[in-house]
Amino acid sequence: MNTLLFCYANDRNRPLPSLGEEDALIDRLLDPRSSRNHFQKIRDSFATAESVTNKILTYQDSLCLFHFSGHAGNTILQFEDTTARGMGMAQLLARCPNLRLVFLNGCSTLHHIQLLRALNVNAAVIATATPIEDQTATRFALGVYRALNNQHTLVQAVEMARLEIQVTASTSIQQVERAMLVDSMEEVSRNQWYFFCPDSELARWELPTGEATGAAEYKPNTGLRTTLFQSLRAFDPTLTESFKSKQQLPPEALKSWLNEELLRRLPYPIAEPLRRLLCPPLSPAGKLLPVTPDRDRLINYVSLFDGSVSLLVGTLLSQIREYLQQAEEAGKSVELGPELEAHLGQLLTDGWAGLEPQPLLTMLRAMGQFLVSRQIDLFINEMHDLARLFSEQPVFFESLAFFHDLRQRLSSPAHTINIDSLCQIGEDHLVDLLKNMGFWAHYRLESVRNIRTLHFFNRKPEYAHEKAVLRTSQSYRLEDLCFQEVKMANIWDSQSVVLVRTSRQPGANGQMEDAVAVDYLSLSPFFIDRNVFLRSDNAVFDLYSFYSITEGQLRFSHIARPEDLLLKISLSDSDTTHQQDYSMLREQFRIVQSLFSLVPATEVAQQAQEDDIDLSLLA
């Protein structure tokens, strides 16, 4: 198995504040892949000359990456106990035939390249042309390894980290901390790292995935299917019982049955991209084609991740909307605070599909903290656990970073990618995500349309709607193909997509059966079913999620076909063809803007008057 060796050495007389942080962050970043046997990661946090020598000699045949961080100079590396000669270190590394990268993250290590080349060490080298500041060195190293961890080539990783430093580092560094041979303060260049690569093959080197040695055989869908089964059955015991009754089926039949059962238990924005991953297409002869790593699979990875995040964001926004609406009806004033107002304003303008990982994570935390701090009964009871996931587990952030990066790579036809390794790593990230998502077994989406108002003597009116359960297209049952009538007390939920909390119980012949819905939360206008706004009687749903507002238009992205053109709905213009009516959607969105303090309430009322809409109907 390929070995990565990371050595960190601090000088007691001149400690480096960021060295421990760099050690911990890189170790935590690479740990998930190391634990899956993609490679062997060896960590020496208090490197001495003896400990480093012993580790290099022990792993010399498998060592592919050597990383050093600490004080350094033109011909030396400073360890915890002594100063080591660069020539001696070069002699040790020359014993490693599979070495691909030497990263010397100390000050002025450029001359070490000559020492390594003199001994015919055929490895790429990242070294420094000048003294470097401590925090900047840590950010650069983390940038390189994050890009490598996302399966960029070596030359791409170095360039991405360099560009990130140029954007984020200050133009003038006040203190030089990793310099050993420089005593005076001096300004540090923002482009001081030097990348030496002796040939094009090394430039294309990527972190190993374990396949070359058979350490981690990758079979598409195995991790997804196993993780989903374990995660969902923790919340739905009927899955375990149903599985026991089907274990005698032939392997392929059992797999097909399990795929179907997993998809049944997940809301549509998650189930639909999963269907495209788990259910292989048919050949012209009607036979199932084998599941193989390809570009379409990567596209579906991004769709599945985006669908999961969109469902979380939409639920949080809807819960805040409902709380603010109830407070307004009760005559209570609620202060959102400038930070949360700014987050909500950005989400309702630019959407969340293209957000960078850190801003998205910050917004998720801010919305979750608002709901928890107000002691609001969360519609998704498991949101407390999700809040801890956002705050405490760096794995979620790394998954955000991976899929954000993958989305950009897939959108550029000129970007060369290693399909096989990216499919393996992408599935690993999805496994980390989905193992925390079993609670979705208690929730489903339903589309509500066509109101009938029911009047009773001496009672408030009730509103009867028609609904359709939103399931992935291969999971239809006969009763799903027809709309069913459901009574709701709030007209706000008309022409809406609602998130329904359910309980489940075993049905006849071991089949899963949905019990009566427990409660529901309207997700409009963040999720919409386009067909409820059309003047037709079709029973086919057409689900979209909010994308952005641009030039006075609401824009929505198709859930099942994210590659489709965006659905654009004007906030002011009416439909002249009379084939569709988005009045309710426009009004819902204006009310959300008002509740989130994005549009003055008087402006909402004025617009409603112009549209001849009775706002009391939405109370």
Rounded to 5 degrees, what are φ and ψ at 516? -60, 140
* Residue 109 placed within a domain: yes
Task: Specify which of 81-90, 288-297, 404-413, 594-603 reaches the highest per-range mean pLDDT.
Answer: 81-90
pLDDT at 213: 45
> Is position 275 within any domain?
no
Domain boundary among 160, 189, 213: 213
User: Quick check: is 613 in a domain?
Assistant: no
Question: Does residue 588 or residue 55 have the better pLDDT?
Answer: 55
What is the reported pLDDT for 604? 40
Measured in residues, the chain has a length of: 619
Query: Has residue 498 been placed in a domain?
Result: yes
| Percent of the chain residues topping a pLDDT of 90 | 47
Top pLDDT among 491 and 308 is at 308
- Type of residue at 576: T
Q: pLDDT category, 68, cuts 50, 70, 90?
A: very high
Q: Is residue 556 part of a domain?
A: yes
pLDDT confidence bin for 133, thresholds 50/70/90: confident
In a domain, 342, yes or no: no
| CA pair distance 380, 7, nearest whole angstrom | 45
> The CATH number of the domain where 26 resides is what?
3.40.50.1460
What are the pLDDT digits (tens) for 423-481? Answer: 999 999 999 989 988 999 999 898 877 555 455 555 665 555 555 555 554 444 444 44
Token reading at 139: 């950010």
618 belongs to a structural domain: no
pLDDT at residue 487 tops 70: no
Q: How many domains does the chain have?
A: 2
Q: What are phi and psi of 593, to 5 degrees?
A: -60, -40
- The boundaries of the domain holding residue 472 are 441-584
Structure confidence at residue 505 (pLDDT): 60
Mean pLDDT of 176-192: 40
Q: Which of 186-190, 304-308, 540-544 has the highest mean pLDDT?
A: 304-308
Give residue 619's pLDDT band: very low, low, confident or very high (50, 70, 90). Answer: very low
Question: For 489, phi and psi rounded to 5 degrees?
Answer: -95, -10
Tell whether 46 is covered by a domain.
yes
pTM: 0.83
Mean pLDDT for the stretch of residues 361-386? 85
Residue whose pair of structure tokens reads 């400073």 in the numeric block? 78
Task: State yes or no: pLDDT of 11 exceeds 60.
Answer: yes
Residue that the structure tokens 């989305």 belong to:
407
- What is the helix (H) or strand (E) element at residue 84, kind and residue range? strand 83-85
Q: Decide: 403 and 306 in contact? Cβ < 8 Å.
A: yes
Residue carrying structure tokens 């089926």: 249
pLDDT at 532: 83
- Residue 71 three-state SS: coil
Average pLDDT over residues 600-611: 45
Whether the predicted pLDDT of 168 surpasses 80: no
